[in-house]
Amino acid sequence: MNRQIATRVLQHFDEDEVKIVAQAVNDLGSVPKDTVDGIIEEFAHEIKYGSTLTATTEKIQGLLEGVFSPDQIAAIIAQTGSKSAGAVWKKLHEIQEAALTQYLMKEHPQVIALVLSRADAATSASLLKMLPRALSHDIVGRMLSLRPVAERPLALLEISFLQDLVLNGRRDSDLSPHTRVAQVINKMDRKVMDECLQAIASSNEKDAELIRQQLFTFDDLGKLAPAALVTVLDTVSPDVVVKALYGIAKAFREQILQAVPSRSRRAIEAEIEGGPTPSTRNAVKAQRVIADIALELIERGVIEVGGEDAEDDEPTT
């Protein structure tokens, strides 16, 4: 694709993702015309002809201009300047040993041996201690007999580790422990959620409060302003709304129905009155679906909890 289109596409990536793309382009080398034609035909039918594709550092830099600042471009190029993403091995010591060990345990012993042979000695030694003894001995033997690995497979392995551990780990580390726990508890049903909070509060009330502030349940829809509630329900199918409204307080049901378009509201009310009664499990599941949608919109800044027009009283169920 031409530079203008490529630039528009890259604007949807964050800096870490662009590093992965730039490294992949840098490692691509020369691609035969037949291969390029096949890819173009598959993903963009309007393009009829391709040409041999050759990637260079200059092309990568030209692609990034207009999307990132000169300093950001320099940092990306610096990390993709070689024919390998080998810098990832130097970053392994930044990852928690438990997480790295758990990740490696899912890999073939030969892959583990290759990874440990690339990591620094201290990191490799620490990881070997955490592996089961039999596996550890096997891996040491494999490390002694390792042969040179072709550049392309090694680059693919390095990029895979960069994505799975370094970049994803960095995103996870940006979250506080309370936020991570809140994300888990948010997926539980109300009874289990309350039990977890009580258990946490019994040992540390402050922790429980910090987690509680980040929770959002179906009942919390009552805290949304009417406009925010409309935004949430606009993305929910009527059949999910029908299931979610069974068994809740009449006033709360009315509040939700007021945020539904008139035609949909009549259909929902008719279904509630004359349709089959969903199981409690299905009703709770539907409520969780709506709560998750609201929570996602809140996290993206599309809506806010509270507001001048929000209901003062929480709904009762």
Q: Which helix (H) or strand (E) holds 30?
A: strand 30-31
Q: Where in the sequence of the chain do the CATH 1.20.5 domains occur?
A: 175-215
**DSSP track, 283-313:** HHHHHHHHHHHHHHHHHTTSS-BB-TTS-SS
3-state secondary structure 169-217: HHHHHCCCHHHHHHHHHCCCCHHHHHHHHHHHHHHCHHHHHHHHCCCCC
pLDDT class of 315 with cuts at 50, 70, 90: low
Q: Specify the higher pLDDT residue, 221 or 191.
A: 221
Is residue 61 within 8 Å of 77, Cβ to Cβ? yes
Average pLDDT estimate for 33-51: 62
**134-147 confidence digits (pLDDT tens):** 888 888 888 888 88
Average pLDDT estimate for 92-98: 76
Average pLDDT estimate for 74-81: 53
Tell me which residue of 217, 237, 221, 218 sits closest to 229, measured CA to CA.
221
**What's the whole-model pTM score?**
0.44
Tell me which residue of 28, 22, 30 sits closest to 53, measured CA to CA.
30
Please give the pLDDT value at position 233: 92
Q: Where in the sequence of the chain do the CATH 1.10.220.30 domains occur?
A: 87-173, 216-317
Most confident of 59-68, 169-178, 237-246: 237-246
3-state helix, strand, coil in the chain (%, to 5): 70, 5, 30
Percent of the chain with pLDDT over 90: 13
Radius of gyration for the alpha carbons in the chain, expressed in angstroms and rounded: 27
Is residue 238 within 8 Å of 266, Cβ to Cβ? no
Give the right CATH number for 175-215 from 1.10.3470, 1.20.140, 2.60.40, 1.20.5.
1.20.5
Average pLDDT estimate for 12-23: 70
**Fold designation for 216-317:** Annexin V; domain 1 (1.10.220)
Amino acid at 308: E
Average pLDDT estimate for 171-199: 73
Give the right CATH number for 87-173 from 1.10.1450.10, 1.10.220.30, 3.40.190.170, 3.40.50.620.
1.10.220.30
Question: In this structure, what are the phi and psi dihedrals at residue 243, rounded to the nearest 5 degrees?
Answer: -65, -40
Please give the pLDDT value at position 228: 92
